[in-house]
Structure 1
Amino acid sequence: MKKHVVFDFGGVVFQWRPKELLKRTLPHRAVDEAAAQQLVADFFQNYEGDWGRFDRGTIEVPELAPLIAERLGFELGEVQAVIDAVPGELEAQKETVELLHRLHENGHRLYFLSNMPEPYAVHLESTHEFFSRFTDGVFSSRVKLIKPEPEIFELATKRFGIEPSQTVFIDDVAKNVEIARAHGWHAIQFITAAQVEADLEAIG
């Protein structure tokens, strides 16, 4: 198995179900499945637009919330409720955490590469002991770059001091997996921790 394993966070190490988040937080707007799905698209804009700037670290909550409220025609309190609820949604996924521990114990060096706004990055770092398993990591908001931009993979390669051919990247988003491969990394699209572990063995 390759020496270096780089993990995405949202949807891989941590649960990320934006539709369920919005159904809980704004039930009066997510009145059925179709409305909830549309609300995800409208609120997060595929993690581009204003939320993309939040991921990139070029906008903070006091500016973000009014922008989303104005764009969607929502009350400011509604938008703030969603922003405040995100940390509660980012629960560690037990099976992935167990895989992290096994890989670490077997001598693999672990890293993370995550699109993550600064407030949520601080929350995750301060609430999960398994961060000690990671040799290093990159949060998008701290380097002002986001996946799938090639530059963030270039930065991570240099910062981690890793050889791309000895590196495997794990992400739930197909585009990010494609860019990692284009950068010379091996890459696996995450579906389940068990699937990833089998794919890691297959890569060798």
Structure 2
Amino acid sequence: MAAKIDHIVFDIGKVLIHYDPNIPYERIIPDPEERKWFFLNVCTHEWNLEQDRGRAWAEAEDLLIKQHPERAEQIRAFRKHWHEMVPHAYDGSVAIMESLIDQGRDVTMLTNFASDTFRHAQELFPFLKKPRGVTVSGDIFLIKPDVAIYEKHARDFGLTPAATLFIDDSLANVEGARAAGWQAVHFVDAETLKKDLDALGVAY
């Protein structure tokens, strides 16, 4: 039987807030095929992940502009219009998190996020300041699903791994948490999360 849960750790993007880089780029690159090419070959997921790992935006932009000088304005638009990529919160899961905090549950966050855009997100979504604390990948140069980031979060916040529940939309990140000895659930939507919490005996 799983250990009693004493600590609950939330991911942020696509769990508490929506994230979609297509939103500003539908305006910046209106042609869908060209936009698809741009994200597959220029501002790729892997390129953006390095900012989550701590690379500075200026360095990231310079790297791509050297490779694609004709795309300089479109490349710089990624950081410039980042706030448009996070248009709204997921009210259902935010309500669950806030309810857990209000009950006195120990709630923290663990996120793959660039350091500066995370602080921007906290201003846009003040509920991101409510948990006891957060580990931001861009601050510590580690990213999920590296087991080391879960181990660091547990050490920094005094969590007992077996008594910790992690909630993330990425299956790879869920598996990373389990490899670190945590309990973990795959986030699909707020209703599914409620069922998962019920099954684990966590009242919300």
Same fold (TM over 0.5): yes
The residue that corresponds to 1:86 in the other structure is 82
Aligned residue type for 2:183: H
Match of 2:13 in 1: 10
Tell which deviates more after alignment, 140-149 or 65-74. 65-74
The alignment yields a C-alpha RMSD, in angstroms, of 2.0
Aligned-partner residue type, residue 146 of structure 2: E
Distance in 1, matches of 2:27 and 2:182, equals 38
Deviation, 1:74, is: 4.4
| Residues 78 and 132 (structure 1), Cα distance of their counterparts in 2 relative to 1, 3 Å cut | closer
Secondary structure of the residue that 1:138 maps to in structure 2?
Answer: strand
Q: Trace 1:23-38 onto structure 2 (pairs within 5 A).
A: 23-27=26-30, 31-32=31-32, 36-38=35-37
User: Does the Cα contact within 8 Å between 1:42 and 1:72 map onto a contact in 2?
Assistant: no
The answer to whether the 8 A contact 2:29-2:35 is kept is no
Give the 3-state SS of the residue equivalent to 1:121 in structure 2.
helix
**Match for residue 114 of structure 1 among 111, 117, 127:** 111
Cα distance in structure 2, aligned partners of 1:77 and 1:70: 12
Amino acid at match of 1:165: A
- After TM superposition, what 4+ stretches of structure 1 lie above 4 angstroms from structure 2? 34-38
Larger mean Cα displacement after TM superposition, 71-80 or 141-150 = 71-80
Q: Deviations over 1:14-51 (max 9, x none)?
A: 10123344324322xxx23x6544543334533x3x32
1:44–1:115 Cα change, 3 Å: farther
The within-5 A match list for 1:119-198 is 119-198=116-195
Q: Secondary structure at the match of 2:117?
A: helix
* Distance of 1:10 and 1:43 partners within structure 2: 22
Instruction: Quickly say closer, same or farther: Cα 1:172–1:73, change in 2 above 3 A.
Output: farther
Give distance in 1, aligned partners of 2:153 and 2:170. Answer: 18
Residue 57 of structure 2 corresponds to residue 61 of structure 1: yes
Report the TM-score, using the length of structure 2 for normalisation.
0.86
Shift of 1:141: 0.8
**2:44 partner SS:** helix
Determine the C-alpha separation between the residues in 2 that align with 1:127 and 1:198: 29
- Is residue 22 of structure 2 the alignment partner of residue 19 of structure 1? yes
**1:40 and 1:194 mapped to 2: Cα distance?**
31
Partner of 2:196: 199
Distance 1:2 1:176 in 2: 19
